[in-house]
Amino acid sequence: MAVGAVVRTGVTRSLRRIPLALVLALLPAFAGPRGARAESASPVRSAVADRFSSDPEAARLALDLLDTTGDEVDVLAPQHIDGGYRGEIALVPALPVGPDRKHLGWVADALHDFDGFFAAIGARGTPRYRWRSLSLRFFRSIGKTTPNAFASDWTVAYNVNGSIDTSADRVRETLFHEIFHLDDADHADWSPGRLTAIQDAIERKCGARTACLAPYAPTSTIVRRGTYYAFQPGNDVHEYAAEVALRWYEEQRAIVRGERPVRPAFKCGPDENRRAWEAITAEFFGGVDLVPGC
């Protein structure tokens, strides 16, 4: 926006000194690049509109996301993935229309929520964190309800059959977790170098014993027949980091919105919690921490 303002000001000042005939001759030169930019953007919007032509409300949601946050909605290509402890999983494209439109609505609400939230955080610091201009790819898992979502290369893939993709709040939490993975990778794969020692220390104390891990768990998400997702065997430090980041968001969001604080404050638990919280806050979120001291 600032760059555009400078360019427009420069053009206006120049026009005051140029004869009218020359001004008219110059106008196509100025119009050309703007027209080219609009033309280059229109195929994406047209493709989204065509993709959702069968469902006007879904089209409205998808186009609004593209126009306001730069996020493009499409489907995931069919594929099989190695789900780790989940086994091999078949994924098929699933356009979020008709009965599945609710998922697009939850995703849109979450991404707009992030916009408002980071506007408030940005007034207090300078996050080094990207949450906009993503590729959103919807799919359905066959015979399984995982993964709920996964992310790479500024793309978030979302499962309309996901076991926890069942409400606006849970989808918002899932998306924040996944978008953190993208930023973690963008920060030169930050979490292994900074949080592995912390996670290892916790797991040496507790192993996979849920009761022992409870004070260290950033969120309440527990794997079926397993333990807290942050410490589930087979998950690495990236998952622990994303769960700590999600907890930072949940606690800050409650304060920004004037809601009841999340209790207990994560950073006020064991010292490992404080160290992980402070490291993530400094690296990604501009050092902003609205949670009162312990």
Per-residue model confidence (pLDDT) at position 20: 37
Residue ranges per structural domain of the chain: 38-167, 187-284
Per-residue model confidence (pLDDT) at position 29: 36
Per-residue model confidence (pLDDT) at position 4: 31
Residue 261's CB is within 10 A of a number of other CB atoms, namely 12
Reading the block at residue 106, the tokens are: 């939850």
Tell me the average confidence (pLDDT) per consecutive run of 10 residues in the chain, 294 residues long. Answer: 29 32 36 38 90 98 97 98 83 98 98 98 97 98 94 98 96 98 98 98 97 98 93 96 98 97 97 98 98 96
Contact (Cβ atoms closer than 8 angstroms) between residue 149 and residue 98: no
pTM: 0.84
Residue 267's CB is within 10 A of a number of other CB atoms, namely 22
Cα–Cα distance between 100 and 38 in angstroms, integer?
Answer: 32
Reading the block at residue 14, the tokens are: 């120049």
Cα–Cα distance between 160 and 255 in angstroms, integer?
Answer: 31
Per-residue model confidence (pLDDT) at position 82: 86
